[in-house]
Structure 1
Amino acid sequence: MKNLLKKWNRLSLVKQILVGLIIGIILALTIPEVAKPIVIFGSLFVGALKAIAPVLVLFLVMSAIAQHKNGQKTNMKSVITLYLIGTFLAGLIAVIVSFIFPVDLTLTKGAEGVNPPKDVVEVLKKLLLDVVDNPVKAIFNANYIGILSWAVLLGLALKNAADSTKTMISNFSDAISKLVTWVIKLAPLGIMGLVFESITTSGLDALLSYGKLLVILIGCMLFVALVVNPIIVFVVIKQNPFPLVFKCLKESGITAFFTRSSASNIPVNMKLCENLGLNKDSYSVSIPLGATINMAGAAVTISVLTLAAVHTLGIPVDLPTAIILSVLSAVCACGASGVAGGSLLLIPLACSLFGISADVAAQVVGVGFIIAVLQDSFETALNSSTDVLFTAAAEYKEWRKEGKKIEINKIG
């Protein structure tokens, strides 16, 4: 047994996750009733990540800002610019593809109890209210906008604190980071439980009737991940971007695919940034921020499902309106919560641009929930892996300016 554990520990986390994935699939297809108790592993893993992530974000951001020295460089302006450009281009790609390959929906019920925002003003109002949310309540409800705002304010307030106070905060931050590494070690078991639950509850047959819609959605996301994002990164770092792209997809995208939550994947991304040798002062802020506003996958989902509804209802769309939809989907995506299914609730807002009633839009949301087992998984994998990708690209750009060697081809 000891030898087996030693061999297991020698495997990389990604290989361990793949083993858990394969076991989960086999159990779901062969002995689903007997293996049903393993579902608890998935719930425990996601629950632990969701529990630790808000506290991690608070202390990491607060510590980074409190200990930031005047004149010390960060890349936040570049990172935020990349986030916004990437999200807009993803929405634009989705609009173009939806025009080329129009999709008809079989509108169905299934969105009862959903209360989507009515207009852009309501989205912005909610964002502003989230910023000033009670800090304890923000942590409890995983309101990352509120957590970020309080972490920034506390960090600024503590900049002139005694060194002993800053050291204590840094020690708390390190301790919580250590807890996160312990949780991440449970990822293989968690992924096994999650994939088992996905197959046994939704099945694969339920997705066949929405095959074309899923192909468009997933195709757009893969195009953004493998074509658009590499082009953006190449323009920034002037080197072959694919080693970095594939590393981010492998080490961040796989776990995000199964947890289906950008917020829950924050600890995984933090660890990946550390492994890439990035500046902690930058990534401790950019990664939590990315889980909130860097939502390329959400922009794809909003655009594709909205235009599918438009095509189904026979509503004509001109070029200016399509461009407006691209911008609106990017704005909506930035307002999407970092939890599973967050982008679906903003589809009615985009539908309102075409005068589609709330009742019909709610049915479109219902379609989204039906295909969410795959749609939301790919969406989150794209969103979360891009957080690290753009954070790394912004820093590598600075390294290039400073004459530092970037051995990006050796990234494994």
Structure 2
Amino acid sequence: MPKKKLGLIPKLIIAIILGIIIGKFAPEFVVRILATFNSIFGNFLGFVIPLIIVGFVVAGIADLGTGAGKLLGITTGIAYGSTLVAGTLAYFVAKSLFPLFIHTSQTLTNAGNPEEKLLAPFFKVEMPPIMGVMSALIIAFILGLGIAAIKTAKEGKSTLFEVFVEFQAIVEKTITFVIIPLLPFHIAGIFANMTYAGEVTKILSVFWKVLLIVLCLHFIIILLQFTIACAYGKKNLVNCLKNQIPGYLTAVGTQSSAATIPVNVKCAENNGVSKGIREFVVPLCATIHLSGSTITLTSCAIAVMMLNNMTFTVGQMFGFIAMLGITMVAAPGVPGGAVMAALGVLQSNLGFSEAQLALMIALYITQDSFGTACNISGDNAIAIIVDGIYNKNK
């Protein structure tokens, strides 16, 4: 009988608990050892961020550019619009509710960058990224659109496209086999350092409330998406929501939109979506529709900024939400894929430090399965709408 592996979420929870224990009871040099690891890992993460953006966005845009023309445009537009609506809803809810339990007295005075404000590492290893985040995004857009045009001209054949598909696979393996396995140690180090500085109690007292609000927002956006879809497609709302339950539960278990595609296609079939539409829209939206992930990232980002007494504007946050919908396209089907793809935007648009990025990763991944379940549920709502448009235009 194969040995059952411990999942990433239990590992992260154990890492947080161990980090708190180490920070409270271990001698200073132990915390400094962890701080040294955090410094090296954080620099490596900073180096990889532009590669993640180029790896996923180029292949994602190039692949989308060779789809079924008008149908592709309609589906992509609805998916992106849904992502923007979800992020905007999360922003206004967070701005209204979070100040009720994140007070001025709860802001973190010492939990900025652990390399500067907490215990310093024994040594540093500099790993400057080969390009900045914005440069990576611009290059990704140019290459992605260019390769899509070449593929269209050559009837789907492009050597450069194959190169970037393989490059995407390399980046995905780097995340799967290097970043994800080392993540619990990084999180343990961050929490050990914050506990040593006396800040971790404030974080934990805030984020269980944040995650409850995020879950409520997930259910609200799913209900909103299906209400609009069923009204347009003239379907029974209760039946469609009931039919979506197997897909939702599968996503909670697998934490992967890609792994949930077969079950989700079956849910779409039960909802009466025509064969051609469900087999086109559901797999496509598994990579481009990220309403649940956007809700979580927006909410957690605002909470982290409030805890660190950082100011933000409506324009800044809307720009952040708009960029999320692009940078997370074709994020890998691994736990935490969306937040990994979003690190560059958190860094460039919101000015997050390494410690704040680590907090975002920990907070996102601990409920990643619910964000994924929200994403794929919305995929079927979009399938109902696209099916209605397609049948009307026949």
TM-score (norm 1): 0.55
| Cα pair distance change 1:50/1:102, threshold 3 Å | closer
> Given that residues 54 and 139 in structure 1 are in contact (C-alpha distance below 8 angstroms), is that contact kept between their aligned partners in structure 2?
no
Unaligned runs of 5+ in 1: 1-5, 113-137, 253-271, 311-324, 348-367, 404-412
The CA distance in 2 between the partners of 1:390 and 1:148, in whole Å, is 27
Q: Which residue of 1 aligns with 2:30?
A: 33
| Cα pair distance change 1:397/1:98, threshold 3 Å | closer
Q: What are the Cα deviations for residues 83-129 of structure 1, in whole angstroms up to 9, with x where unaligned?
A: 222222222222332464572347869989xxxxxxxxxxxxxxxxx
The CA distance in 1 between the partners of 2:151 and 2:106, in whole Å, is 57
Q: Is 1:275 matched up with 2:262? A: no
Q: Is 1:235 matched up with 2:224? A: yes
Any residues of structure 2 matched to 1:253-268 within 5 Å, and which?
Answer: none
The alpha carbon displacement at 1:341 in A equals 9.3
Which of 304, 321, 324 is the aligned partner of 1:334?
321
| Cα pair distance change 1:44/1:210, threshold 3 Å | closer
- After TM superposition, the structure 1 stretch with the greater mean CA deviation from structure 2, 15-24 or 78-87, is 15-24
The alpha carbon displacement at 1:146 in A equals 2.0
Q: Which residue of 2 aligns with 1:15?
A: 7
> Given that residues 42 and 194 in structure 1 are in contact (C-alpha distance below 8 angstroms), is that contact kept between their aligned partners in structure 2?
yes
| Cα pair distance change 1:151/1:182, threshold 3 Å | same
Return structure 1 stretches of 4+ with deviation > 6 angstroms: 109-112, 289-294, 368-371, 382-387
- After TM superposition, the structure 1 stretch with the greater mean CA deviation from structure 2, 379-388 or 391-400, is 379-388
The CA distance in 2 between the partners of 1:62 and 1:370, in whole Å, is 29
> Given that residues 252 and 369 in structure 2 are in contact (C-alpha distance below 8 angstroms), is that contact kept between their aligned partners in structure 1?
yes
> Given that residues 24 and 196 in structure 1 are in contact (C-alpha distance below 8 angstroms), is that contact kept between their aligned partners in structure 2?
yes
The alpha carbon displacement at 1:175 in A equals 2.1
The alpha carbon displacement at 1:239 in A equals 1.4
The CA distance in 2 between the partners of 1:16 and 1:381, in whole Å, is 8
Q: Is 1:189 matched up with 2:187? A: no
State percent identity of aligned pairs. 11
> What is the aligned residue count?
313
> Given that residues 230 and 242 in structure 1 are in contact (C-alpha distance below 8 angstroms), is that contact kept between their aligned partners in structure 2?
no
Unaligned runs of 5+ in 2: 114-128, 227-239, 262-280, 325-341, 388-394
The CA distance in 1 between the partners of 2:379 and 2:369, in whole Å, is 16
> Given that residues 302 and 343 in structure 1 are in contact (C-alpha distance below 8 angstroms), is that contact kept between their aligned partners in structure 2?
no
Q: What are the Cα deviations for residues 240-272 of structure 1, in whole angstroms up to 9, with x where unaligned?
A: 5777667667766xxxxxxxxxxxxxxxxxxx2
Q: Which residue of 2 aligns with 1:376?
A: 360
Any residues of structure 2 matched to 1:156-195 within 5 Å, and which?
Answer: 156-163=148-155, 165-166=157-158, 168-183=159-174, 184-186=176-178, 189-195=181-187
> Given that residues 42 and 354 in structure 2 are in contact (C-alpha distance below 8 angstroms), is that contact kept between their aligned partners in structure 1?
no
TM-score (norm 2): 0.57
The alpha carbon displacement at 1:227 in A equals 0.7
Any residues of structure 2 matched to 1:70-81 within 5 Å, and which?
Answer: 70-73=69-72, 75-81=75-81
Q: What are the Cα deviations for residues 246-305 of structure 1, in whole angstroms up to 9, with x where unaligned?
A: 7667766xxxxxxxxxxxxxxxxxxx2321227555555556x99899952266338856
The CA distance in 2 between the partners of 1:111 and 1:389, in whole Å, is 32
The alpha carbon displacement at 1:332 in A equals 5.3
The CA distance in 2 between the partners of 1:71 and 1:145, in whole Å, is 25
- After TM superposition, the structure 1 stretch with the greater mean CA deviation from structure 2, 384-393 or 173-182, is 384-393
SS in 2 for 1:140: coil
One-letter identity of the residue aligned with 1:396: N
One-letter identity of the residue aligned with 1:154: G
SS in 2 for 1:231: helix
Q: Which residue of 1 aligns with 2:55?
A: 56
> Given that residues 65 and 152 in structure 1 are in contact (C-alpha distance below 8 angstroms), is that contact kept between their aligned partners in structure 2?
no
Q: Is 1:397 matched up with 2:381? A: yes
Q: Which residue of 2 aligns with 1:119?
A: none
The alpha carbon displacement at 1:333 in A equals 3.8
The CA distance in 1 between the partners of 2:202 and 2:323, in whole Å, is 23
Q: What are the Cα deviations for residues 226-248 of structure 1, in whole angstroms up to 9, with x where unaligned?
A: 11112211332441577766766
One-letter identity of the residue aligned with 1:65: L
Q: Which residue of 2 aligns with 1:223?
A: 213
Q: Which residue of 1 aligns with 2:271?
A: none
Q: Which residue of 1 aligns with 2:195?
A: 203
| Cα pair distance change 1:309/1:56, threshold 3 Å | closer
The CA distance in 2 between the partners of 1:335 and 1:402, in whole Å, is 22
Q: What are the Cα deviations for residues 173-223 of structure 1, in whole angstroms up to 9, with x where unaligned?
A: 442343245330345531232123213332266225746xx6456523431
| Cα pair distance change 1:236/1:343, threshold 3 Å | same
